[in-house]
């Protein structure tokens, strides 16, 4: 596995791949790798010749009171995991390498799909995501890029980015990888206390109940209230949001319009967890 820490090193390796006529698959991450990330790599290895992974904790997508400084990092272990999984090229830029003058002159602003869910509770987050992903797409020029549906709103935004700005890149959404008890794998799970870790699977249990209720045709507002209460009764976390929208537009559900997403964010003492389920109803 080649490790590139600078844009120059990255591009030198990419040129070699290009010369050999290889298809590039790109897996952007913030590191502290787990099996969720590895699933994206596996998909990329199936579908492309060379897999490029980036690990970059992007300050632009963190709000002033969010966890940028204490976001978990373990470069040595990440390098090992990426190598074992067969990543061909690992891009590990510094903040200075990605934002050489501190801030960029031009930032992306996402104008749709972000007034709800994480976009609402994390203002500016998706502007930061779109900006860094646009930069990485420009640098790496992959044919395919792999994103996890655990961050379904992010997938919706990236689809729009590619469409609006004509990136010749196919976005491949990858289903959420879960622990045996249903908890979605996440770098932030390490911040759960033992008790919270026992409670956290109730997010997914709630989503599954929500799926049944949607398929049964229960009212959206009734399902929302029931699931919010269900999570509050089974965990010590605070429900930041639990919403049901059309997917990927993330607008109010009109009867029988499909697919729909049930998305939840819960704040525990040291970690804010998100999860979702996308339901394609019978017509
Ligand atoms: P992150 O490092 O959290 O920014 O995640 C990098 C990529 O991995 C994103 O596309 C995430 O959606 C994806 N990802 C994170 N957790 C999971 C998971 N449990 N299952 C599938 N993909 C995931």
Same domain assignment for residues 164 and 206: no
Return the active site residues: 37
- pLDDT of the residue at 15: 98
Comparing CA positions, the residue from 104, 108, 122, 119 lying closest to residue 67 is 122
Same domain assignment for residues 137 and 204: no
Same domain assignment for residues 94 and 140: yes
Same domain assignment for residues 122 and 259: no
- pLDDT of the residue at 258: 77
* Known binding positions: 30-37, 61, 148-151, 154, 177, 185-188
Same domain assignment for residues 43 and 107: yes
Same domain assignment for residues 119 and 150: yes
Q: What is the distance in A from the centroid of ligand 1 to the CA of 19?
A: 30
Same domain assignment for residues 123 and 224: no
Which atom of ligand 1 is least distant from the CA of 146?
10
Ligand 1 touching residue 42 (CB < 6 A): no
Ligand 1 touching residue 136 (CB < 6 A): no
pTM of the predicted structure, to 2 decimals: 0.97
Same domain assignment for residues 155 and 201: no
- pLDDT of the residue at 257: 66
Ligand 1 touching residue 277 (CB < 6 A): no
Q: What is the distance in A from the centroid of ligand 1 to the CA of 186?
A: 7
- pLDDT of the residue at 282: 59
Same domain assignment for residues 31 and 140: yes
Same domain assignment for residues 162 and 75: yes
- Residue 181 falls within a domain, yes or no? no
Give the end of a domain, one of 124, 144, 174.
Answer: 174
Q: What is the distance in A from the centroid of ligand 1 to the CA of 151?
A: 7
Q: In the chain, how many domains are there?
A: 2
- Residue 258 falls within a domain, yes or no? yes
Same domain assignment for residues 103 and 193: no
Give the end of a domain, one of 153, 174, 195.
Answer: 174
Residue 165: which CATH number?
3.40.50.620
Same domain assignment for residues 169 and 193: no
- Residue 76 falls within a domain, yes or no? yes
Ligand 1 touching residue 176 (CB < 6 A): yes
Domain limits for position 227: 187-278
Q: What is the distance in A from the centroid of ligand 1 to the CA of 210?
A: 23
- pLDDT of the residue at 33: 98
Give the end of a domain, one of 139, 174, 209.
Answer: 174
Residues of the chain with pLDDT below 50 are: none
pLDDT digits (tens, 9 = 90+) for 227-266: 999 999 999 999 999 999 999 999 999 867 679 999 999 9
- Residue 180 falls within a domain, yes or no? no
Which atom of ligand 1 is least distant from the CA of 175?
21
Ligand 1 touching residue 88 (CB < 6 A): no
- Residue 179 falls within a domain, yes or no? no
Residue 202: which CATH number?
3.30.1300.10
- Residue 129 falls within a domain, yes or no? yes
């Amino acid at each position: 596995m080649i490790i590139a820490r600078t844009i120059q090193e990255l591009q030198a390796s990419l040129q070699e791949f290009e010369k050999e006529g290889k298809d590039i698959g790109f897996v952007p991450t913030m590191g502290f790798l787990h099996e969720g990330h590895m699933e994206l790599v596996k998909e990329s290895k199936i579908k492309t010749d060379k897999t490029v992974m980036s690990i970059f904790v992007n300050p632009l997508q963190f709000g002033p009171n969010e966890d940028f400084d204490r976001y978990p990092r373990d470069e040595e272990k990440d390098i090992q995991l990426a190598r074992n999984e067969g990543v061909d090229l690992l891009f590990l830029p510094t903040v200075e390498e990605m934002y050489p003058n501190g801030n960029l002159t031009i930032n992306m602003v996402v104008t749709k799909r972000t007034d709800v869910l994480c976009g609402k509770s994390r203002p500016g987050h998706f502007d930061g995501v779109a900006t860094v992903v646009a930069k990485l797409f420009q640098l790496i020029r992959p044919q395919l890029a792999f994103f996890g549906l655990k961050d379904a709103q992010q997938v919706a935004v990236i689809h729009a980015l590619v469409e609006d700005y004509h990136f010749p890149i196919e976005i491949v959404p990858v289903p959420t990888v879960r622990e045996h008890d249903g908890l979605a794998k996440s770098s932030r799970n390490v911040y759960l206390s033992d008790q919270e870790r026992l409670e956290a699977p109730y997010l997914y249990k709630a989503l599954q109940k929500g799926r049944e209720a949607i398929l049964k045709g229960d009212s959206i507002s009734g399902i929302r209230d029931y699931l919010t209460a269900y999570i509050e009764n089974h965990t010590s976390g605070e429900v930041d949001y639990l919403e049901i929208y059309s997917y990927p537009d993330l607008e109010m559900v009109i009867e029988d319009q499909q697919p729909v997403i049930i998305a939840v964010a819960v704040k525990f003492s040291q970690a804010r967890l998100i999860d979702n389920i996308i339901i394609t109803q019978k017509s």
